[in-house]
């Protein structure tokens, strides 16, 4: 594992030097940015482990920078510690936390306090990443099981239909029972396994549906299902298996979904859903 990268953001080079001198003692790798806008661009490219963000800066202040960072799926999980020598009231603290900061350090900076907070935040961040990675692996496994189950059910339905086509007219009772069985398997394929998967998805991503519908209340249940599967980056073929639709139907649905979400052509659909 390489050195831990910390992005230090401040419009005063002298302040960055003070923080850098402290961090270098503990073998942290330092990246510098001189306003909130540059900080966002650097964070997207470098993906630091932690950001130390000054509040009061020209062009873009720290508060606005944090809001943008938290909206982008590549930077939203990077922990940010706000630093300020002016905005230090309880109301200021609440504002910083509401924007997405996870801690707050006052100027002038105390070395022991700063290092203690950095270590605590890095430990929490590492635990969070490990937990999310584990849950996502479990969710992906559940999706794969759902795909396999649907493939099995599809083959079973085809075999039952083949048997049905080859029975004689005198075997009406068998014909009726086969129809019932085909219908039952089809319903199980379409609903039961999906409900189990959907329940687990909501446990792993409890706020996704709420945020998605808050931003786009006009989405249909079918479109919400598609968003759920796309967020896991599942390919078109597997989505068609899960939803019992043709691959062409899924491609058309994706195009319609982009329009409904008002996404520009340059915006990645999966990336957008990951950021929610």
Q: Return the pLDDT at 265.
A: 85
Q: Return the pLDDT at 176.
A: 66
Architecture per CATH, 5-109: 3-Layer(aba) Sandwich (3.40)
Question: 6 pairs with which residues across the strands?
Answer: 30, 50
Alpha-carbon distance of 121 to 101, in angstroms, equals 11
Q: Return the pLDDT at 185.
A: 63
pLDDT surpasses 70 at 170 = no
Instruction: Please give the residue that has the higher pLDDT: either 244 or 97.
Output: 97
Q: In the β-sheet with 29-33, what is the strand arrangement from edge to edge?
A: 29-33, 5-9, 50-54, 80-84, 103-106
The CA distances from residue 151 to 78, 121, 189, 256, in Å, are 39, 44, 9, 26
Judging by beta carbons within 10 Å of its beta carbon (0-12, 13-18, 19+), is residue 135 exposed, middle or buried? Answer: middle
pLDDT surpasses 60 at 1 = no
Reported as a pLDDT band with limits 50, 70 and 90, residue 127 is confident
Alpha-carbon distance of 192 to 134, in angstroms, equals 25
> Of 44-48, 170-174, 244-248, which one has max mean pLDDT?
44-48
pLDDT surpasses 70 at 174 = no
Reported as a pLDDT band with limits 50, 70 and 90, residue 31 is very high
Domain boundary assignment for the chain: 5-109, 132-274
pLDDT surpasses 60 at 248 = yes
Q: Is residue 56 within 8 Å of 84, Cβ to Cβ?
A: yes
CATH topology of domain 132-274: Arc Repressor Mutant, subunit A (1.10.10)
Count of C-beta atoms within a 10 Å radius of residue 115: 15
The CA distances from residue 230 to 12, 17, 204, 254, 268, in Å, are 43, 44, 15, 9, 11
Instruction: Please give the residue that has the higher pLDDT: either 161 or 169.
Output: 161
Q: Return the pLDDT at 113.
A: 92
**Helix ranges, 72-207 (H):** 90-99, 111-165, 172-187, 193-204
Reported as a pLDDT band with limits 50, 70 and 90, residue 125 is confident
The CA distances from residue 228 to 105, 218, 252, 263, in Å, are 38, 16, 17, 17
């Amino acid at each position: 594992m390489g050195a831990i990268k910390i992005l230090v953001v401040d419009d005063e080079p002298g302040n960055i030097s003070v923080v850098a001198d402290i961090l270098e003692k503990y073998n942290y790798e330092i990246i510098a940015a001189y306003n909130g806008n540059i900080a966002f661009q650097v964070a997207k490219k470098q993906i630091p482990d932690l950001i130390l963000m000054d509040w009061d800066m020209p062009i873009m202040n720290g508060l606005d920078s944090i809001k943008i960072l938290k909206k982008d799926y590549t930077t939203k999980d990077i922990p940010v510690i706000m630093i300020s020598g002016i905005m230090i009231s309880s109301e200021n603290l609440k504002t910083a936390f509401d924007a997405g900061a996870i801690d707050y350090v006052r100027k002038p900076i105390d070395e022991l306090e700063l290092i203690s907070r950095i270590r605590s935040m890095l430990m929490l961040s590492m635990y969070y990443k490990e937990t999310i990675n584990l849950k996502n692996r479990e969710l992906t496994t559940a999706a794969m099981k759902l795909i396999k189950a649907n493939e099995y059910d599809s083959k079973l339905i085809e075999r039952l239909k083949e048997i049905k086509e080859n029975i004689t007219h005198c075997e009406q009772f068998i014909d009726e029972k086969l129809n019932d069985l085909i219908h039952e398997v089809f319903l199980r394929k379409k609903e039961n396994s999906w409900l189990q998967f959907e329940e687990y998805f909501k446990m792993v991503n409890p706020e996704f549906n709420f945020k998605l519908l808050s931003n786009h209340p006009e989405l249909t249940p079918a479109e919400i299902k598609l968003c759920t599967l796309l967020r896991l980056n599942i390919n078109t073929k597997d989505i068609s298996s899960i939803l019992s639709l043709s691959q062409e139907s899924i491609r058309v649905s994706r195009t319609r979904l982009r329009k409904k979400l008002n996404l520009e052509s340059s915006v990645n659909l999966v990336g957008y859903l990951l950021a929610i």
